[in-house]
Structure formats: C-alpha cells, structure tokens
Amino acid sequence: MNDIKEQLHALCVAYVKGRMQAAEQAIAEAQEAANNDTKSSAGDKYETGREMAQQETNRNLAQLNEANKLMVALNQIPMKGNAATADAGSLVITNNGSFYIAISAGALAFDGKNYFAVSPASPIGLKLKGKKMGEEFNLNGKNYLISEIF
C-alpha cells in the first residue's frame, strides 16, 4: 500500500508543479505584454495597459507563492507513518471514497481507481484526523465508515 501512497504523493507533486509552471508562464507573458506596450499619443492608454499587466503579474505571483507553500507542505508529509490513526500522509479508505491526506489537489486517478487528495485543514481532513479503523463520522449529512488506514 506504500507504493500507492508514493504514487499519490507523486501525483500531488505533479499537480503543484503544473500550477507553478502555469503561474510562471503567465508572469512571463504579462511581463512581455508590458514590455511590448509602446507609448502612443494617448498616454493614459499606455499607463492603463502597463497597470493591467502589473496587476496580472501580481496575481500570478500570488498564485506562484501559494503553489510554493503547497510544495513545502508536501515535502513535510511523512511517507511512512503510523497506520493506526489517520494523519497527514495517511491513505484512508471509507465507504464513501478513498482519501489521501496531503494537500487539496482534488480527485487523483491511479490504477483505475479514484482517490481524493485533501488537506489536513479541510473539513474532511479535520474529520479524518485522529480517526481509527472502524470509526465513523458524519460530514454534510453523509456518514463515513473508515475501513482501512495506510
């Protein structure tokens, strides 16, 4: 089961790297657009275009910063841990889905099955944390029974 956790971890890393690359590319494009914006007789148009490019750069820098924080969080997740209780790095199998407690990356498909990468701070991550095999919890009117923890 550790190989599944390693694969899910690798999928989370790929997700974060994809977000980082998209943000870096958007920053480069906004910078290029600002550099290519030539001053016309309508000076306000020039300043507005530059300001819009700067705002776009700032927005993408914030997204890049968030992706970096996700990568740091991923790097701190133990790959081998206590399988008795659910915590960061755990793969928790329930009657309503399989959850990898790491970062919020959504649904991950691996080996023909869907797993949900969830943050320990997310509502379901908070419900899962500290639970043991056989325990139940309720979230949004849905009952979950933990059948396995890896």
Three-state helix/strand/coil letters over 49-71:
HHHHHHHHHHHHHHHHHHHHHHH
Residue with tokens 């997740």: 77
User: Is there a contact between 130 and 101 (Cβ–Cβ < 8 Å)?
Assistant: no
Which residue ranges make up each domain of the chain?
2-75, 91-149
| 97-101/113-118 β-pairing | parallel
The predicted-structure confidence for 90-115, as pLDDT tens digits, reads as follows 999 999 999 999 999 999 999 999 99
pTM value? 0.85
Q: What is the pLDDT of residues 11-29, one digit of tens each?
A: 999 999 999 999 999 999 8
CA angle 18, 19, 23 (to 5 degrees): 115
